[in-house]
Amino acid sequence: MGTTGSGILLETGTNEVEILELFIDEGGYTGYYGVNVAKVLEIIRMPSQIMRPPHMRGSFVAGIFKHRGRLAVLLDLAAWLGRVRVEKAQPKVLITEFNGIVTAFLVSGVTRIHRATWSDIRPLDGYAENLSDSVTGVVMLDERLVFLLDLEKAISDVDPRLAISVSPAIDDTVTSGYKPIRVLHADDSLVIRKTLQRRLEENRIFVVESVANGDEAWSYLGEVKKKCGANGEPPSTYVDAVLTDIEMPGMDGYHLCKLIKDDPELKSIPVVLFSSLITEKLLHKGTAVGADGQFSKPDLTLMRFMKDAVERRRAAG
């Protein structure tokens, strides 16, 4: 099997996405799931030699195998989802790269690559958001309901160090009269939103307004512009910086960043991308839409970057 290249080039900032549809055969029921093609390096057949080290963590860790000169951890996606995979044909393995590491996922098979827009994808919100922390959204593809998987959650379940750290990322002491930095944060993961808000606000340097996707962030900024127009104030009166994930139902972070940087009233607001998709190969996409900073989850040095960027902007007037 080769790479996942579909021959379709997506222009950055258009809110488009390519979704690789995969399935898990559970015997009498087949579940269809989707992952962002940008995370998938290639699709291979099940390796013939899988090793299981003693006392291996995670009931869904299938083992490790050698791939292209390095060891890859193989995660059984069905087991992670609480399913039992029935092996009717030779299973497939997705080789992925995100959060700065290469991971392999075992699935029953793959269907095809779909081209869609993030506006086609419905987020899990309200009551549904609390039902599953392994799914970030749903989309209809070829008249099938396909669940978009949170693969970052899977690898953080194996190694909690790959989740957002609880240790301090910035040790500055807030002096009396310091004006907190107001951050608009967009991420479709409820866990990430809550965790990051705690981390940003713990030293009283930041005050965070959290929203679930780019649509909500853009709507919030629209209200800010209305207030500014009515009061004659600059947007920085209400928002000092925007921190956004990239993969989000409704509107992705690239498109949100492009809208902000194309807007005469908002373009001076620093926009920082915080995503598992920040890799050396994909940095050019953030640059193309004018992002001021790009950080891969769970790298919280973005806190220092945002603080310095906003303070420079304040000093310049």
- Asked if 171 and 154 touch (Cβ cutoff 8 Å), the reply is no
CA angle at 78 for the pair 88 and 144, rounded to the nearest 5°: 80
91: preceding bond cis by omega (within 30 degrees): no
pLDDT at 286 > cutoff 70: yes
Assigned superfamily of 16-160: CheA-289, Domain 4 (2.40.50.180)
Task: Sketch the domain layout of the chain as residue ranges.
Answer: 16-160, 164-316
CA angle at 97 for the pair 81 and 134, rounded to the nearest 5°: 20
DSSP code, position 174:
P
CA dihedral 292, 275, 113, 17 (to 10 degrees): -40
CA separation for the pair 41, 38 (Å, rounded): 8
Give the β-pairing of 181-186 and 206-211.
parallel
- Other residues' Cβ atoms within 10 Å of the Cβ of residue 87: 10
- Residue-level pLDDT at 258: 96
- Residue-level pLDDT at 203: 81
Residue with tokens 């008249």: 143
Q: Which of 17-31, 152-166, 190-204 has the lowest mean pLDDT?
A: 152-166
pLDDT at 8 > cutoff 90: no
- Residue-level pLDDT at 1: 44
Q: Which of 37-41, 201-205, 261-265 has the lowest mean pLDDT?
A: 201-205
247: Cα within 13 Å, side-chain hemisphere: 28
pTM of the predicted protein model: 0.81
The pLDDT tens digits of the residues spanning 86-141 come to 887 889 999 998 877 889 999 999 999 999 999 999 877 665 555 677 888 899 99
pLDDT at 208 > cutoff 90: yes
pLDDT at 167 > cutoff 70: no
pLDDT at 50 > cutoff 70: yes
**No. of H helices and E strands in the chain?**
7, 16
CA separation for the pair 35, 249 (Å, rounded): 13
Fold of 164-316: Rossmann fold (3.40.50)
Residue with tokens 């693969």: 151
CA separation for the pair 104, 73 (Å, rounded): 6
Report residue 75's pLDDT band, with 50, 70 and 90 as the boundaries: very high
pLDDT at 172 > cutoff 50: yes
Q: Which helix (H) or strand (E) holds 223?
A: helix 214-231
- Residue-level pLDDT at 265: 93
Q: Which helix (H) or strand (E) holds 241?
A: strand 241-244
Q: Distance between terminal CA atoms of the chain?
A: 56
79: Cα within 13 Å, side-chain hemisphere: 13
CA separation for the pair 212, 188 (Å, rounded): 5
* Average pLDDT for the chain: 87
- Other residues' Cβ atoms within 10 Å of the Cβ of residue 185: 22
What average pLDDT score do residues 72-98 get?
90
- Residue-level pLDDT at 98: 84
CA separation for the pair 22, 19 (Å, rounded): 9
The tokens of 27 are what? 């015997």
Residue type, 129: E
- Residue-level pLDDT at 287: 95
Residue with tokens 């029935």: 86
Q: What phi and psi, each to the nearest 5 degrees, are found at residue 265?
A: -85, -25
